Structure 1
């Protein structure tokens, strides 16, 4: 790696570390904060989950098209699509936090919407609850891991360190794609239990 590339990566290293730590902590904290608990009279933003699930789906499509573009040598198109994918991910994050700050969490299998998973409900959903929780846990864990990977992959492209960019992108791409696709799957699985 040449000195110019090293300089660019070094310049962004602190930001990558900072964002990789601050974003998950901020989301976790804000996830537990309810605006109504602070006296704000806000209606739950029930319209957001299908929108941010759609954004996850669109992110997955953009990622696939971006990879196809770079394989065909369309570097500028690839670059623009990746910027768009990052923007979509940021939009998702803002909407996700806004929804959870205004609405109570939904419990998978809570058919009567009382906020408690009763034994009869648990028996009715059966093993599908464990499948949902498995997908959700991996989705959450990888969404935390993907933050520094996306940022570092992007910085390597900015620094024109394309060999190192490609090497890391081979790890980042499938993980990011998994997070985007499972975001849609998680929404589709939990949506019957939303209390609108």
Structure 2
């Protein structure tokens, strides 16, 4: 087995491990009854998370424009890397907030409540599924496997964009109910 094959196998193993570990860690932290006492600053994190999701959405849209319309690979790479880093920052903020603060219940009524839960549930389910897709897309691009990269981003991009946009929508819908 060549060094490249071994390196690829190790990378793929890490992608699998992270794809399982991230949702499990989030689920465990959401389920803990005893919240950590990190101070009142954590109650500002939902607003930070809303900004992060907005910036991620913008990075993804502009990365798409950079590659499809401008054929600017360098800008495409920078914007997608920014989106990935924002995703990591989102995860840190999200886990920190939910480890320290109780979940906020949506207080809307009627059709708005139904719309909120449709967005929330689809956002959660797709956010779990998009993790391995994003990691594989980056792996293929960084490894120079652009044919495989192009194939997977046909699915990854719209799902990732949907997850980041619905994250903003869910934030905007629930933000009036946050307790500070």
Instruction: Please give the TM-score of this superposition, normalised by the length of structure 1.
Output: 0.84
> CA deviation digits over 1:97-124, x for unaligned, max 9?
1111121111111xxxxxxxxxxxxxx7
Out of 150, 161, 171, the residue aligned to residue 134 of structure 2 is 150
Alignment-derived partner of residue 179 in structure 2: 195
Give the SS at the match of 1:45: helix
Alignment-derived partner of residue 95 in structure 1: 93
Q: Are 1:136 and 2:120 an aligned pair?
A: yes
More helix by share: 2
Rounded to whole Å, the distance in 1 between the matches of 2:131 and 2:75 is 22
- In the alignment, is the contact (CA less than 8 A) between 1:31 and 1:101 conserved in 2? yes
1:101-120 equivalent positions in 2, closer than 5 A: 101-109=99-107
Rounded to whole Å, the distance in 1 between the matches of 2:95 and 2:4 is 35
Cα distance change of structure 1 residues 31 and 44 upon mapping to structure 2, 3 Å threshold: farther
Q: Which runs of 5+ in 1 are unaligned?
A: 110-123
**Which segments of structure 1 move beyond 6 Å, counting only runs of 4 or more?**
none
Alignment-derived partner of residue 65 in structure 2: 68
Rounded to whole Å, the distance in 2 between the matches of 1:178 and 1:187 is 14
Give the SS at the match of 2:42: coil
Out of 148, 152, 158, the residue aligned to residue 174 of structure 1 is 158
1:33 offset after TM fit, Å? 3.0
**More divergent stretch after superposition (83-92 vs 63-72):** 63-72
Rounded to whole Å, the distance in 2 between the matches of 1:104 and 1:10 is 40
Rounded to whole Å, the distance in 2 between the matches of 1:67 and 1:41 is 38
- In the alignment, is the contact (CA less than 8 A) between 2:137 and 2:153 conserved in 1? yes
Q: Which runs of 5+ in 2 are unaligned?
A: none
- In the alignment, is the contact (CA less than 8 A) between 2:137 and 2:149 conserved in 1? yes
1:9 offset after TM fit, Å? 3.5
Rounded to whole Å, the distance in 2 between the matches of 1:5 and 1:167 is 22
Cα distance change of structure 1 residues 66 and 5 upon mapping to structure 2, 3 Å threshold: farther
* Root-mean-square deviation over aligned CA pairs: 2.0
Out of 108, 112, 126, the residue aligned to residue 110 of structure 2 is 126
Question: Whose Rg is larger?
Answer: 1
